Amino acid sequence: MSLQNSLDGDSPVRHDWDSVEILRLYELPLNDLLFQAQTIHRQYFDPNSVQVSTLLSVKTGACPEDCKYCAQSGHYQTELEKEKLLAIEQVLEAAKEAKENGASRFCMGAAWRCPLEKDMPAILQMVTQVKEMGMETCMTLGMLTGAQARELAEAGLDYYNHNLDTSPEYYKEVVTTRGYQDRLDTLAHVRNAELKICSGGILGMGESREDRAGLLQQLANLPIHPESVPINLLIPMPGTPFETLGELDPFEFVRTVAIARVIMPASYVRLSAGRESMNDQMQALCFFAGANSIFSGEKLLTAPNREPKSDDNLFQRLGLSFIQAQKDESGKGTGARFHDAMKPATVGSTEIN
């Protein structure tokens, strides 16, 4: 897509991006890329509104996967204490506090390869009761079967998070206990259950620009774009293989946010992990580049995050406002706005392969 086309209002939702096109976007002068991203952003969203989510770890530690960035992996000595699945009352109290602090979506994560059937009743009850509080619900539980995805949908889940992490080519340098196709298969089960998808990746894991382009290409070429695309900046966690990796150039991160907006124009693009290391100026550039979602709260699963007061102050200085969850006639949350433009030309039994 050319800069002139975006200015002319020609920014269709595409699913046929190739890596060369995406790399050309990376090579644009930063001012031109930001202008293009902001122009497209305004065609789909209020440019001064940001969706806020809160993330809670409902089961922490001892994960059997070997993701090299994760302090919850049982493969590494990270001094993280293993915890059992939280009681439903604890989850609801955290959700209530999140709502009072302005969050419209409550995300619950468990350090599992996949959920066991014995844990599904409690998980489903968490979804139903948080939904009854008028919040959007999101879960990240690892890999899902088709039946589990349908159970979550029936319980009222809005979003399922399952990140691709990086490009297919670099993936083996990050995770070896789960294949890339396993992740795509889970996304297929989630989409076939008519759940919204939250899927993105992590930058700063030693990957190349080509790998960053490859990650975005995978996401943008899904039959339906993820409704939410989290862009994470690696937090080097002590005890993990990636604890000594160097910092990513901040402008490279901003470029990636902008390109995500250009090629997935109707998706929410979320600043996720790593915000506590970003100064206000970098975050402001990301919002201008098309980011319109954040995680709020002092902790993201086990990693640190910015304090809510810091976000409030930044939003006031930038003139940004929170997006509130929509309600149906019963007053319950119905999930974030879903743009018709995101739907493929024909919707049927499309599988993600």
Question: What is the per-residue pLDDT across 31-61, written as a single tens digit (0 to 9) for each?
Answer: 999 999 999 999 999 999 998 888 888 887 6
pLDDT number for residue 297? 57
In this structure, how many other beta carbons lie within 10 angstroms of the beta carbon of residue 353? 8
3-state secondary structure at position 253: helix
**Closest listed residue to residue 23, CA positions, set 216, 234, 167:** 216
- 272-316 pLDDT tens trace: 888 888 999 999 999 999 999 987 755 555 555 566 678 888 989
pLDDT number for residue 334? 37
**Closest listed residue to residue 16, CA positions, set 263, 260, 250, 194:** 263
Q: Taking the CA of residue 167 as centre, how many other CA atoms within 13 Å lie in the half-sphere pointing to its CB? A: 15
- 232-277 pLDDT tens trace: 999 888 888 898 887 899 999 999 999 999 999 999 999 988 888 8
Among the listed residues 14, 24, 42, 70, the single catalytic one is: 70
Identity at 188, one-letter amino acid code:
A
Among the listed residues 105, 191, 198, 261, the single catalytic one is: 198
138 part of the active site: yes
In this structure, how many other beta carbons lie within 10 angstroms of the beta carbon of residue 181? 11
- 66-95 pLDDT tens trace: 888 888 776 777 676 677 888 889 889 888
Of 190 and 337, the one with more pLDDT: 190
Instruction: Give the confidence band of 174 by pLDDT, cuts at 50, 70, 90.
Output: very high
**Closest listed residue to residue 203, CA positions, set 167, 243, 241, 239:** 167
In this structure, how many other beta carbons lie within 10 angstroms of the beta carbon of residue 40? 25
107 part of the active site: yes
Instruction: Give the confidence band of 11 by pLDDT, cuts at 50, 70, 90.
Output: low
Least confident of 98-107, 186-195, 242-251: 98-107
Q: What is the largest CA-CA distance in the chain?
A: 55
270 part of the active site: yes
Among the listed residues 67, 191, 255, 261, the single catalytic one is: 67
67 part of the active site: yes
pLDDT number for residue 94? 87
Q: Is residue 332 pLDDT above 60, yes or no?
A: no
* 129: Cβ contacts below 8 Å, ≥ 6 apart: 88, 91, 92
286 part of the active site: no
Across the chain, the runs of DSSP E, i.e. the strands, are 49-59, 105-110, 136-140, 159-161, 196-198, 201-203, 228-233, 268-271, 293-295, 299-300, 303-304, 321-323
Among the listed residues 105, 138, 191, 286, the single catalytic one is: 138
Q: Is residue 206 pLDDT above 50, yes or no?
A: yes
- 141-156 pLDDT tens trace: 989 999 999 999 999 9
Calpha distance 293→50 (Å, rounded): 5
Among the listed residues 105, 107, 191, 286, the single catalytic one is: 107
Among the listed residues 191, 212, 270, 306, the single catalytic one is: 270
70 part of the active site: yes
pLDDT number for residue 350? 28
What is the pTM (predicted TM-score) of this model? 0.84
Answer whether 277's CB lies under 8 Å from 52's CB.
no
Of 340 and 261, the one with more pLDDT: 261
